[in-house]
Structure 1
């Protein structure tokens, strides 16, 4: 079973489109869309385990230029 998560992203002003495009090109990201509200981009990602997911968020997603803050919300199956 894979671990899935939503990554809520805040960006610099005017950077949401480029951040969404860069995120969607990242391995493990299944969806990246610009949104309105307190976050600018929401990403759906998946990985083999929680450690791999954390490494992807820190090493790949947070490295995208224009991101100011992320909040990772793992999906739970209740």
Structure 2
């Protein structure tokens, strides 16, 4: 199982609606509005890195109101 944090920038005033839509995507554990340089932080999981990448590109990045994403895979050292 691969987990990642997805940091999301949204259009002004769209963070709450973006987080709400993303929280319904299969594989998303949490999606929360935050303050700072990013507007929403998502924790997601998938069976493989490739599957995680497909989720981000095909599902998360297609949500209306998102301007930029940064995916940070969790590593266990």
Q: Which TM-score band applies after superposition, normalised by the shorter structure?
A: over 0.9
User: Considering only aligned residues, what root-mean-square deviation do their CA atoms show, in Å?
Assistant: 0.2
Equivalent pairs, count: 77
Return 5+ residue gaps in structure 1 as ranges.
none
* Unpaired stretches in structure 2, ≥5 consecutive residues: none
What TM-score results when the alignment is normalised by the length of structure 1? 0.98
Where in structure 1 do 4 or more consecutive aligned residues deviate above 2 Å? none
SS at 1:46 equivalent: strand
Distance in 2 (alpha carbons) for counterparts of 1:60 and 1:28: 11
TM-score (norm 2): 0.99
Q: Deviation per CA, 1:35-63: give whole Å up to 9, x if none.
A: 00000000000000000000000000000
1:68 deviates by 0.1
CA displacement at 1:26 relative to structure 2: 0.5
CA distance in structure 1 between the partners assigned to 2:67 and 2:26 by the alignment: 21
* Distance in 2 separating the partners of 1:63 and 1:52: 16
